[in-house]
A = this chain, B = another copy of it.
Amino acid sequence: MLSVNKQDDTFLYRQVIDLISTNIDSGTLRPGDRLPSLRRMSQSARVSIPTVRQAYVELERQRRIESRPQSGFYVRPRAANDIVSAAPSSRGKPVCFNCRSLMERVYDGINNPRLVPLGIANPCMARPAAKTLHRAMKRVMARREESSLGYSSTLGEISLRRQIAYHYLDTVGAKIEPEHIAITNGGQEALLLSLRAVASPGDIIAVETPTYHGLLELIDSLGMLAVEVETCPEEGVTLSELRRTLEKHDVKACMFSTTLGNPLGVTMPEVTRRELVEILEEYDTVLIEDDVYGDLRFDGVRPVPAQFLKHSKRIITCGSFSKTAAPGYRIGWIVTEHFIDKIARLKRAFSCSSGLLQQLTLADFLASGDYARYLKALRPILKQNAERMSALVAEHFPAATRTSRPVGASVLWLELPAGVDSIQLFDDAITAGISIAPGQIFSPANRYRNCLRLSYGHPWTEQTENAIRWLGRQVAELC
């Protein structure tokens, strides 16, 4: 099956790489297949074991294969990098997001409690911390009595801001002053205030592609334009493309996710984050860093937000408890020293202040250690859900379907066979009692029509499994 041209003795390991890549691309080696052991490969390809090892390590770095402890090397499931690297690069023109009527229908689906909820990114609802949070809230009501009904201050309760600062110190070693944190009505308002603080109507905003639809609706609703920057599932936004975009357009701000970006699930490596900060300086622009999924990597390792790596004044970091504790509390935050006064002014003008009871409850939840304990319990459940969903998709969707490979949070990104219309699928799914997120809403340029985002951020049930099976069959029919 496998043979290497011994005549060309330089870079033999490269030939091993090409050989295996070709076999993966042609479908001879399929996702999940076990590669020959180092010894067997060495024998069959007639190269040394170290050469094979070098090749396997490089293939693993390229994320074509993966090692499993005590088991060997396996072909990785088709990853989203196939999807995105296949997209034509640098086609970005600033555009208005114009998916309004589709967004209405998607949200009708999301807001309908009778549908199987595969359409909404809602990680913490996989195992809600209801009892713990309810207890904390009752403690707050008992302790604060009448004063728990009053206004919070513009930037929010200092007790919660201290806990957020401490959480960053604890998880990534960043020292942040509570005075540089503003509490917001969820992550969405954090993005709104940040964007309005640095940009005006008509300005161009750089976004990843695909990117979170709420970002695109926000940019549109403020009369701004979005320009897409190609995004690689291993690295996040491609910095060479970003440079090209910044050369070409007067980009007022970038809005990127640095950890577990939605919908691809990408985490930007630290070295890339550092380079990104340099680019911001070089091109005199700012970054609104969406970090709402930062706490949700399955491995529990929290990457350092780009802002704190180099204490950049050009970065505003947005966080939220909507993904990690309680969506309905509507509590998010902004970290920025440089823009904090502007943010305060906007917060006051746009919504006065954020919910007091929820802030005090979350401050208690963090201070007691319950939040850390909760995350520890939540992550393996999300990981299990991700594995179950990936396995069912692999089993029931057409073979040409490609999927992302989640390492955290709660969504799976699918590229369906060319020609499958995910909006059609969305409509059919609603009729069948299932809500999903069609790919088109993740691009201001109406890309990803044959893509799809599925969420596993809810308790896993037979209904979930049946829904995925139904979707697989339906995609096959639409092929």
**A residues whose Cβ falls under 8 Å from a Cβ of B:** 100, 103-104, 107, 110-111, 120, 122, 124-125, 128-130, 133-134, 137-138, 141, 145-146, 148-154, 185-189, 192, 196, 200-201, 214, 217-218, 220-223, 322, 325-330, 341, 344-346, 348-358
Chain B residues whose CB sits within 8 angstroms of the CB of A149 once the complex forms: 124-125, 128-130, 133, 325-329
Name the distance in Å between A230's Cβ and chain B's nearest Cβ. 25
The answer to whether B330 touches A354 (Cβ under 8 A) is: yes
Chain B residues whose CB sits within 8 angstroms of the CB of A148 once the complex forms: 130, 134, 328
The answer to whether A150 touches B103 (Cβ under 8 A) is: no
The answer to whether B107 touches A348 (Cβ under 8 A) is: yes
The answer to whether B351 touches A330 (Cβ under 8 A) is: yes
Name the distance in Å between A315's Cβ and chain B's nearest Cβ. 22
Chain B residues whose CB sits within 8 angstroms of the CB of A187 once the complex forms: 352
Name the distance in Å between A262's Cβ and chain B's nearest Cβ. 14
The answer to whether A350 touches B221 (Cβ under 8 A) is: yes
Name the distance in Å between A192's Cβ and chain B's nearest Cβ. 5
Chain B residues whose CB sits within 8 angstroms of the CB of A201 once the complex forms: 200-201, 223
The answer to whether B129 touches A328 (Cβ under 8 A) is: no
Chain B residues whose CB sits within 8 angstroms of the CB of A221 once the complex forms: 196, 345-346, 349-350
Chain B residues whose CB sits within 8 angstroms of the CB of A356 once the complex forms: 328-329
Chain B residues whose CB sits within 8 angstroms of the CB of A104 once the complex forms: 341, 344-345
One of B122, B222, B349 near A150 (C-beta < 8 A) = B122
Q: With A and B bound together, what is the CA distance between A380 and B145 in angstroms?
A: 22
Closest B residue to A155 by CB, please name it: B111
Q: With A and B bound together, what is the CA distance between A357 and B140 in angstroms?
A: 15
One of B153, B200, B222, B348 near A103 (C-beta < 8 A) = B348
Name the distance in Å between A151's Cβ and chain B's nearest Cβ. 4
The answer to whether A151 touches B345 (Cβ under 8 A) is: no
Name the distance in Å between A367's Cβ and chain B's nearest Cβ. 19
One of B145, B196, B329, B344 near A355 (C-beta < 8 A) = B329
User: Given A146-B130, A148-B130, does the pair A186, B352 have CB atoms closer than 8 Å?
Assistant: yes
The answer to whether B351 touches A351 (Cβ under 8 A) is: yes
Chain B residues whose CB sits within 8 angstroms of the CB of A124 once the complex forms: 149
One of B134, B217, B351 near A188 (C-beta < 8 A) = B351
Q: With A and B bound together, what is the CA distance between A253 and B351 in angstroms?
A: 20
Closest B residue to A459 by CB, please name it: B146
The answer to whether B350 touches A350 (Cβ under 8 A) is: yes
